[in-house]
Amino acid sequence: MSRDPNPLAPGSVVGVTEDMIHTLVHTFYGRVRSDPLLGPIFEGAVEDWDGHLGKLCSFWSSVTLMTGRYHGTPMRAHALLPGIAAHHFEHWLDIFRATARDICPPEAAALFIDRAGRIAQSLEMGIALHRGQMLGLGDRLTAGPTSPPTAPPTRLQSRE
Ligand code: HEM
């Protein structure tokens, strides 16, 4: 069930608002879509961009403002993407950090950046497990033996 922002949520404390999340999400995915490394992955997987952006606004609202608006399964969505490896995550995080610093006041940017880094790390470990690999301390996700380098990513169903 959706709630108003929790006044004790980490985002409330540093001034995150739904408007800020909207601007961050839309600016970030605008940059990602025109990025040579990540753009083709998203264009191959996302059919409904309005739905995707709405889902990501709900996601960040839940993570930072504890509104409970997001009800998706990020691990499943990413585990189904073939060929994703550590350098994709590094580049995603580079763009996300730069965008957060452009859009948000410093304390809010630091919160988004911290949470994105932690979630990226857990997604990387989850994808590795899904591929039958166990990442040890300091190990990073590789593209995996079964990933077709030129095949388009799997199309995923939007759940929102
Ligand atoms: C290598 C980096 C990443 C790539 C290439 C990537 C790509 C994608 C793609 C293609 C989708 C599916 C969209 C759709 O089917 O509609 C997706 C969904 C999503 N991504 Fe990522 N992503 C990356 C990293 C991240 C990170 C670090 C986060 C969180 C901090 C994140 C959060 C999400 C969420 C919440 C969804 C929606 C899942 C759902 O409920 O269906 N992604 N991503």
Task: Work out the average pLDDT over 38-43.
Answer: 96
In a domain, 4, yes or no: no
Residue 106: count of CB within 10 angstroms of its CB = 10
| pTM reported for the whole predicted model | 0.89
Q: What percent of the chain has pLDDT over 90?
A: 74
In a domain, 32, yes or no: yes
In a domain, 30, yes or no: yes
| 60 contacts: CB under 8 Å, gap ≥ 6 | 21, 24, 25, 112
In a domain, 43, yes or no: yes
In a domain, 35, yes or no: yes
Task: Work out the average pLDDT over 92-105.
Answer: 98
* Number of domains into which the chain is organized: 1
**Could you tell me the CATH number of the domain that includes residue 59?**
1.10.490.10
Pocket residues for ligand 1 (CB within 6 Å)? 38, 41-42, 45-46, 52, 55-56, 59, 72-74, 77-78, 81, 84, 88-89, 92, 116, 119-120, 123, 156, 158-159
**What pLDDT is recorded for position 47?**
95
In a domain, 87, yes or no: yes
Task: Work out the average pLDDT over 15-31.
Answer: 98
Q: Which domain holds residue 125?
A: 10-130
Look at residue 15 and tell me whether its pLDDT is greater than 50.
yes
In a domain, 137, yes or no: no
Tell me the pLDDT tens digit for each residue of 55-67.
999 999 999 999 9
**What pLDDT is recorded for position 145?**
59
Q: Please, which pLDDT band fits residue 150 given cuts at 50, 70 and 90?
A: very low
**What pLDDT is recorded for position 153?**
45
**What pLDDT is recorded for position 64?**
98
In a domain, 139, yes or no: no
| DSSP code string of the chain | ---PPPTTSHHHHTT--HHHHHHHHHHHHHHHHT-TTTHHHHHHH-S-HHHHHHHHHHHHHHHHH--------HHHHHHTSTT--HHHHHHHHHHHHHHHHHHS-HHHHHHHHHHHHHHHHHHHHHHHHHTT----TT------TT--SSSPPPP-----
